[in-house]
């Protein structure tokens, strides 16, 4: 390995703490939040039921049967409301989320199928679904707590606090429904989708470890052992960095990840190279890597850029023909590359508490990121002067920001775009118009 450079996050204030793989995987699931909400509402219901029982017992001990009689009438009215809420909630859930899934399907067909991931990771979506289900479960539990006795002297419990809690959950459901509709409508607007992708991409940049001086990063030497991938084939989603660092420190070795995050790995192929000693036992490396069916933003520096390119390519396809959307995607591509234009790339080094490098993780280099951002879009930009003008303006901006040793891929794409337009636009006026840099495409 010739270059031991480290990825550095852009200056965005305090560097966020990297999520553990478990927390990141829970964010990619849709079942955890609703399940946790239903369990939580059951625990809250037990507490409310105990409080209601204590209130009734206190009134009976004081002999205040008039108050109990009033509470019985209140409970009768509350039962009607709770029954109505319980019968309507599941219908409400089904209608709302059926419409939402149709909207997401339309968005994925127009932009890219990867936008469904934004819907799954949306906090407001999970919160809404969780509160809706929790409200329904709460209504069922509250209905079981109503006492059938009509005589205040025979009443053992009245769901007063439980009924108030149900009404509060209904109010919260209505508030979240409004926020959810707003969030779903934003998801159908391409500018917000692109902004969300860019935000997740910058989080991946910010989660990279800080750079270190070259004197502290010696070459690891030749590999002394190899660790093959065991398990199912799939995309390498992420690695448990902290656990791998602990294993390497415990065994006095340096581990080097062979595939990059986002690569497709096959059982039996090399996963980790060991430098400086024997390979750790298989049990020590268990649950240190995660393989799935799709890429994630977590630790994957190029995934957001890949999605932006997909949106631009879909917009430039003959079936959609929306160059303005491609320009919006190029805006974020240029922004992403500008943030990395002076940052060290190629590999990421992770150290133990003593400052010793224990894990070497490959990340995309500058040339690879530039090629990913411009190659496919540049080939589809022919015949769309709006896109070619925006791309030329973006390349010019990046040439001003990039270090001297990083200008070659930018100049190469600029020259290839000039050649392609020269060949496709024989009219000198059209050619000059398509080659005029413009940050808005065509105004």
275 band by pLDDT with thresholds 50, 70 and 90: very high
So what's the pLDDT on residue 326? 93
What is the rounded (10 degree) CA torsion for 340, 341, 346, 349? -50
pLDDT greater than 80 at residue 261: yes
pTM for this prediction: 0.79
Within 10 Å of residue 76's Cβ, how many Cβ atoms? 12
Contact criterion met (CB below 8 Å) for 344 and 209: no
C-alpha to C-alpha distance for 146 and 52, rounded to whole angstroms = 11
Token readout for 146 is: 């109503």
Of 71, 243, 244, which is closest to residue 163 (Cα–Cα)?
71
pLDDT at 115 over 90: no
Q: What is the pLDDT averaged over residues 80-91?
A: 84
- Two tokens, residue 53: 């029982």
Q: How far lies 227's CA from each of 182, 230, 290, in Å?
A: 48, 9, 15
- Under a CB-based contact definition with an 8 Å cutoff, are residues 258 and 228 in contact? no
pLDDT (mean) for 154-180 = 86
1 — pLDDT class (breaks 50, 70, 90): very low
CA-derived radius of gyration, the chain = 29
Residue 144 has what pLDDT?
83
Q: What is the average pLDDT across 167-189?
A: 87
Q: Tens digits of per-residue pLDDT, 281-294? A: 988 888 888 898 88
Token code pair at residue 430: 């059209």
155: tokens are: 């009443």
3-state class of 54 per DSSP?
A: helix
Q: Which of 153-157, 172-176, 199-203 is predicted least confidently?
A: 153-157
**What is the pLDDT, as a whole number, of residue 7?**
35
More confident residue, 244 or 108: 244
pLDDT score, position 36: 92
Band of the pLDDT at 259, cuts 50, 70, 90? very high
Span 78-91, average pLDDT: 84
In 293-377, DSSP assigns E strands to 347-351, 357-362
Per the rule left: phi > 0, alpha: psi between -120 and 50, beta: everything else, 326 is alpha
Question: Is the model's pLDDT at 174 over the cut of 80?
Answer: yes
Among 182-186, 284-288, 308-312, the range scoring the smallest mean pLDDT is: 182-186
Closest to 369 measured CA to CA, from 307, 418, 433, 302:
302
The average pLDDT across 381-403 equals 92
How high is the pLDDT of residue 4?
36
Is the pLDDT assigned to residue 97 strictly greater than 50? Answer: yes
Quickly count: other Cβ atoms within 10 Å of residue 47's Cβ: 12
The residue to which tokens 């002297």 are assigned: 153
Kindly report, residue by residue over 394-426, the tens digit of the pLDDT.
999 999 999 899 999 999 999 999 999 988 877
Lowest mean pLDDT among 50-54, 56-60, 419-423: 56-60
Map tokens 């409200």 to a residue.
Answer: 135
Which among 86-100, 142-156, 398-412 has the top mean pLDDT? 398-412
Which residues of 266-417 form beta strands (DSSP E)? Answer: 270-275, 289-292, 347-351, 357-362
* pLDDT, the chain, mean: 84
d(CA 423, CA 168): 67
CB within 8 Å of 143: residues ≥ 6 apart? 79, 82, 83, 86
Determine the pLDDT at residue 14.
42
H or E segment at 254? strand 254-257
Query: Is 161 within 8 Å of 83 (Cβ atoms)?
Result: no
Nearest to 196 by CA among 209, 183, 182: 183
Per-residue pLDDT for 10 more than 60?
no
């Amino acid at each position: 390995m010739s270059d031991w450079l480290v990825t550095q996050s852009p200056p965005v204030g305090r560097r966020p703490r990297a999520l553990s793989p478990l927390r990141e995987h829970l964010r990619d699931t849709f079942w955890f939040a609703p399940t946790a909400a239903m369990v939580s509402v059951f625990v809250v219901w037990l507490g409310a039921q105990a409080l209601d029982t204590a209130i009734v017992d206190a009134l009976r001990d004081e002999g205040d049967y008039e108050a109990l009689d009033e509470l019985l009438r209140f409970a009768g009215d509350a039962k009607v409301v709770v029954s109505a809420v319980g019968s309507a909630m599941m219908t409400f859930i089904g209608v709302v989320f059926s419409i939402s899934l149709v909207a997401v399907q339309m968005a994925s067909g127009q932009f890219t199928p990867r936008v469904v991931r934004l819907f799954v990771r949306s906090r407001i979506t999970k919160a809404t679904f969780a509160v809706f289900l929790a409200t329904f479960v709460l209504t069922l539990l509250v209905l079981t707590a109503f006492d059938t006795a009509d005589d205040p002297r025979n009443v053992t419990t009245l769901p007063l606090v439980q009924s108030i809690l149900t009404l509060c959950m209904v109010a919260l459901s209505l508030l979240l429904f409004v926020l959810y509709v707003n969030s779903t409508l934003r998801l159908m607007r391409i500018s917000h989708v692109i902004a969300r992708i860019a935000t997740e991409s910058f989080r991946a940049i910010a989660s990279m470890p800080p750079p270190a001086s070259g004197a502290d990063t010696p070459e690891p030497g030749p590999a002394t052992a190899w660790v093959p991938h065991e398990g199912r084939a799939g995309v390498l989603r992420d690695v448990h960095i902290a656990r791998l660092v602990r294993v390497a420190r415990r065994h006095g070795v340096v581990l080097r990840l062979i595939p990059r995050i986002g690569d497709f790995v096959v059982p039996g192929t090399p996963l980790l190279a060991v430098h400086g000693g024997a390979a750790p036992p298989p049990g020590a490396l268990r649950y240190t890597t995660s393989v799935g069916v799709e890429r994630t933003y977590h630790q994957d520096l190029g995934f957001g850029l890949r999605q932006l390119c997909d949106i631009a390519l879909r917009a430039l396809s003959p079936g959609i023909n929306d160059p303005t959307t491609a320009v919006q995607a190029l805006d974020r591509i240029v922004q992403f590359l500008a943030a990395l234009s002076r940052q060290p790339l190629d590999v990421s080094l992770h150290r133990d508490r003593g400052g010793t490098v224990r894990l070497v993780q490959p990340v995309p280099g500058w040339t690879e990121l530039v090629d990913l951002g411009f190659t496919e879009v540049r080939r589809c930009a022919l015949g769309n002067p709006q896109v070619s003008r925006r791309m030329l303006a973006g390349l010019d901006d990046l040439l001003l920001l990039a270090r001297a040793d990083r200008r070659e891929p930018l100049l190469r794409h600029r020259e290839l775009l000039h050649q392609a337009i020269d060949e496709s636009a024989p009219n000198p006026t059209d050619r000059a118009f398509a080659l005029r840099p413009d940050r808005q495409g065509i105004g």
